[in-house]
Structure 1
Amino acid sequence: MTTSDNLRPLHPPVHPPLHGDRPYDELVAEAVAAPTEGWDFSWFDGRATEERPSWGYARLMGERLAVVESALDLHTGGGEVLNLAPQLPPLMAATEGWPPNVEKATRLLGPRGVVVVASPDDAPLPFADAAFELVTARHPVKAHFAEIARVLRPGGTYFAQHVGPSSVFELVEYFLGPQPEQVRHGRDPETETQEARDAGLEIVDLRAERLRIEFHDIGAVVHFLRKVVWMVPGFTVDAYEPQLRALHEQIKRDGAFVAHSTRHLIEARKP
């Protein structure tokens, strides 16, 4: 499931949920022990599901990567999504800000000739002007459109899937309570497309969808909040034990905790 939201999609379960009736302490201990680096979400199989956007970002990204000579993937995580592309351009770079992910992405993508660059999410991109034909991103922490426009060649394209407003806020507000309107409406696709236009880019495509998520055991909730750390900042099991135990009982009673993610596809071109 994403930095990002920067959220990353949960894989559909390969079998019906099997863990909901297990003891709270056992489920939580298992989730706490699970590694959190990278953006492989197979740990959630049988524990949680999320609808996928209808457009199929990884496939569309792969099609675009196959027909350019140079590309940059922003906030690549552990490189898992980029590695799905059947063909990469001769010049392929990727950025990532979290050191464990930089290491994982380098191991995964290095054999395919990808240069993985450690770069803070909010810093200027460490590349020359007009360096790339294509810039991609799946659930970037934030799209810095002025920098994206700078590193794109004239005629180049930014192609990305972003996390939208109020994504998984049913879970966020379960732990943190009602959020301010400015927080709920952050990452608005119309605002982002205006930022892209202000940076000199032309919007080619914009699509948005709201997608159902189901958490089938408390371990899935704990692992999700440990992995997607910006959802409930400072989350620990000890700090939120009363809420977690109550949610465990709720999931046992209802079969799942339901939330909704929001995603938008954006394609922008540099004239």
Structure 2
Amino acid sequence: MAQTIRNHNTRTFEDLIAEAAAAPVDGWDFSWLDGRATEERPSWGYARAMAARWARATAALDVQTGGGEVLAAVPQLPPLAVATEGWPPNVARATALLHPRGVAVVADADEPPLPFGDGAFDLVTSRHPVQTWWPEIARVLTPGGTYFSQQVGPASVFELVEYFLGPQSADVRGRRDPGKARAEAEAAGLQVADLRQEKLRTEFHDIGAVVYFLRKVIWMVPGFTVEEYEDKLAALDEQIRTDGPFVAHTTRFLIEARKPLRSS
């Protein structure tokens, strides 16, 4: 999210809500929030690191590619480049972005099995997957192949989640734990080469930014609608106008895992 903030709080609550409720939320492009919200970025620079790995690959797969925005920015693609996506509007968007670059976009329900043969790819990447099916990742990797992924960590943006839903249990707050990801990767036969986590400051500067975010990231407050949460939205709008931006904290972790070479 961009760092230059414009003051939208001179506009009415109703105007901000109507604008955010009407904005399209297909794809994984958050540019609508430019000037309205900020989010610190992880220090490891996922897009740059991903691009470097794609440049070295011979056959690469991007799982749950969203609208293809991250992959479309990769400067150099391998001879075989494939992406999967499960949500039909994103499949169409990714196809339009990636087909001109020679990337095959496969509509896939994001459930096992992946629609590829064993050992099909020497690189698999995924940015913010909803779920990682580790046995399938291991199956489609060649021996010596790599899985590289930035993922949402535990209790990410939970200040906002708990504002709307109330306190969450320790079990819910502990989901997406990087330690669990390591254990699952190793159980699938992969060797974890890198695992890092960071907590990052996120700010929402007007109520429209909150509405847009919750409409786009639908698992944060499942079933979110403006109508159902109108009273809480109105109270939060007043809080932002009085006290300044609503502050939350995003958590991210980076994981890189390799499939061992076959023993001779």
TM bucket (normalised to shorter chain) is: over 0.9
Are 1:20 and 1:255, in contact at CA under 8 Å, matched by a contact in 2?
no
Query: In the aligned structure 1, how far is the partner of 2:235 from the partner of 2:112?
Result: 40
Are 2:259 and 1:270 equivalent residues in the alignment? yes
Query: In the aligned structure 1, how far is the partner of 2:38 from the partner of 2:67?
Result: 21
Q: 1:205 aligns to what?
A: 194
Are 2:220 and 1:237 equivalent residues in the alignment? no
Are 2:70 and 1:55 equivalent residues in the alignment? no
Are 2:14 and 1:12 equivalent residues in the alignment? no
Q: 2:247 aligns to what?
A: 258
The aligned runs of 1:30-69 (5 Å cut-off) are 30-69=19-58
Output the amino acid matched with 1:86. P
The aligned runs of 1:111-190 (5 Å cut-off) are 111-190=100-179
Are 2:112 and 2:136, in contact at CA under 8 Å, matched by a contact in 1?
no
Are 2:5 and 2:34, in contact at CA under 8 Å, matched by a contact in 1?
no
Runs of 4+ in 1 over 4 A off after TM superposition: none
Query: In the aligned structure 1, how far is the partner of 2:174 from the partner of 2:186?
Result: 20
Are 2:184 and 1:195 equivalent residues in the alignment? yes
Query: In the aligned structure 2, how far is the partner of 1:123 from the partner of 1:200?
Result: 17
- Encode CA deviations 1:70-98: one digit per residue, 9 max, x unaligned: 00001100000111111111101111110
State which drifts further: 74-83 or 115-124. Answer: 115-124
- Encode CA deviations 1:7-29: one digit per residue, 9 max, x unaligned: xxxx223x333212310000011
SS at match of 2:112: coil
Output the amino acid matched with 1:25. E
Are 2:5 and 2:37, in contact at CA under 8 Å, matched by a contact in 1?
no
SS at match of 2:147: strand
Are 1:136 and 1:159, in contact at CA under 8 Å, matched by a contact in 2?
yes
Query: In the aligned structure 1, how far is the partner of 2:170 from the partner of 2:120?
Result: 38
Query: In the aligned structure 2, how far is the partner of 1:142 from the partner of 1:69?
Result: 25
- Encode CA deviations 1:212-254: one digit per residue, 9 max, x unaligned: 0000000000000000000000000000000000000000011
Are 2:125 and 2:149, in contact at CA under 8 Å, matched by a contact in 1?
yes
Are 1:134 and 1:158, in contact at CA under 8 Å, matched by a contact in 2?
yes
Query: In the aligned structure 2, how far is the partner of 1:92 from the partner of 1:20?
Result: 45
Query: CA shift at 1:51, angstroms?
Result: 0.1
User: What TM-score do you get using the length of structure 1 for normalisation?
Assistant: 0.95
State which drifts further: 118-127 or 244-253. Answer: 118-127
Query: CA shift at 1:121, angstroms?
Result: 1.8
Are 2:112 and 2:133, in contact at CA under 8 Å, matched by a contact in 1?
no
SS at match of 1:81: helix
Are 1:21 and 1:252, in contact at CA under 8 Å, matched by a contact in 2?
no
Aligned residues: 260
Are 2:73 and 1:80 equivalent residues in the alignment? no
SS at match of 2:82: strand
- Structure 2, unmatched stretches of 5+, are none
Q: 1:21 aligns to what?
A: 10
Query: In the aligned structure 1, how far is the partner of 2:5 from the partner of 2:61?
Result: 38
Query: In the aligned structure 2, how far is the partner of 1:182 from the partner of 1:149?
Result: 27
User: What TM-score do you get using the length of structure 2 for normalisation?
Assistant: 0.97
Are 2:88 and 1:99 equivalent residues in the alignment? yes
SS at match of 1:133: strand
SS at match of 2:257: strand
Output the amino acid matched with 2:2. P
Query: In the aligned structure 2, how far is the partner of 1:97 from the partner of 1:241?
Result: 31
Are 2:94 and 1:108 equivalent residues in the alignment? no
